[in-house]
Amino acid sequence: MMPIIFVVPIVQLIILVHAATFEMKDIRMSVIDLDMSQSSRQMISKFQGSPFFRIAHTSFSYREAGNEMKKGNVDVILQIPLGFEKNLAKEKKSKVQIVINAINGTSAGLVSAYSLMILQDFNRALIVEWMSPATMAATRNIKVIPLYWYNPKLNYKTFMVPGILVLLVTIIGLLLSGMNIVREKEIGTIEQINVTPIRKIQFIAGKLIPFWIIALFELTFGLVVGKLLFNIPMIGNLWLIFLSAGIYIFVILGFGLLISTMTNTQQQSMLVAFFFMVIFILMSGLFTSIESMPNWAQQLDRLNPIAYFIRIMRMVMLKGSSFQDIQESLYSLVVYAFGIISIAIWRYRKVT
């Protein structure tokens, strides 16, 4: 139990932060250069100089390149037709073909965006190269200086670490509390506890508070690891983070306690907890934006406690949000905690 509580979450944090990313930095490209001109080589060099693309295959046959994509050896095909440079010189326009493996729609969208950015950069370079000095002097350009708030370097780890911390606290709290009372049932001590003079509030507190302290310790250790290993900014008030975490952990522990009162074996408890945990995690906004979900899913997500806490963690840690900024989510967690623990206590009384 000790390694599960203290070692596994930290290992998961270190691994998941690097693995759970939508960034693509090794897009394998197949190039079909039928023009073999200076302009075509310049375009190919643009892709080679990008940190996202790697030329993994070259050919003069589209069939061969397509077979490489079917085998999974390349992700995108760039085909430059014969007469590419000639059309640029005479007609001031030409065409290229980009074929993207779209089995993974998210990856295909990113590859398409990266490719369009490179082609636009190539196009701007051609315009500057071919434009006469007089025309360039008369052209008015708008200079754009992008400023990215809260994550200036667009580091995906900065976005993921707060969510992964919530995930780890959830796993520890839900699984341990979910197996709590069930363990007493399996070894036969629940009947002995029920006939003792211990009060119900004392029994419930004894089942929740130790794991509440452990989960807070896990969060503290995770924040330290996130700062030391990933240099995650912590702009907001740490006391506000721990206040929110304390309320959220009561929600998760109450949920686990409710599952524990409804099941008879630890295996049943783990399966039920896993069922709800998968749904909560996938709809929490950890990997996909809640705003992009259908309206019915967004309304259903109001019952998802993980979504509330991930929103709070990212707002406080990365944006420096105050209590007024997160009060709606925080109050929702308070209501959730009171409701779920009350149901769990009522359900336990019914069982006994």
How confident is residue 352, by pLDDT bands cut at 50, 70 and 90?
A: very low
Taking 80 as the threshold, does the pLDDT of residue 318 lie above it?
Answer: yes
The secondary structure of the chain in percent helix, strand, coil, rounded to multiples of 5, reads 70, 5, 25
pLDDT band per the 50, 70, 90 thresholds, residue 79:
very high
Q: Kindly report the CA angle at 48 between 45 and 49, in degrees rounded to 5?
A: 85
| Interval 185-241: pLDDT, tens | 777 777 677 777 777 777 778 888 888 998 888 888 888 888 888 888 888 899 999
* Straight-line distance from the first to the last Cα atom of the chain, in angstroms, rounded to the nearest whole number: 28
How does DSSP classify residue 52? S
Sole residue written with tokens 């969060």: 219
Query: How many alpha carbons lie under 13 Å from residue 286 in its C-beta half-sphere?
Result: 26
CB half-sphere exposure, 198, CA atoms < 13 A: 15
> What's the rounded Cα separation, in Å, for the pair 249 and 252?
5
C-alpha span between 302 and 308 (Å, rounded): 8
> Which comes out higher in pLDDT, residue 199 or 296?
296
- Residue by residue, DSSP assigns 245-295 as HHHHHHHHHHHHHHHHHH-SSHHHHHHHHHHHHHHHHHTTTSSS-GGGS-H
pLDDT in tens, 103-146: 877 788 888 888 998 998 888 887 777 665 655 555 566 777 77
Sheet holding 76-80, edge to edge: 53-59, 27-33, 76-80, 97-100
Give the domains, in start order, of the chain with CATH numbers: 24-138 (3.40.1710.10), 159-351 (no CATH)
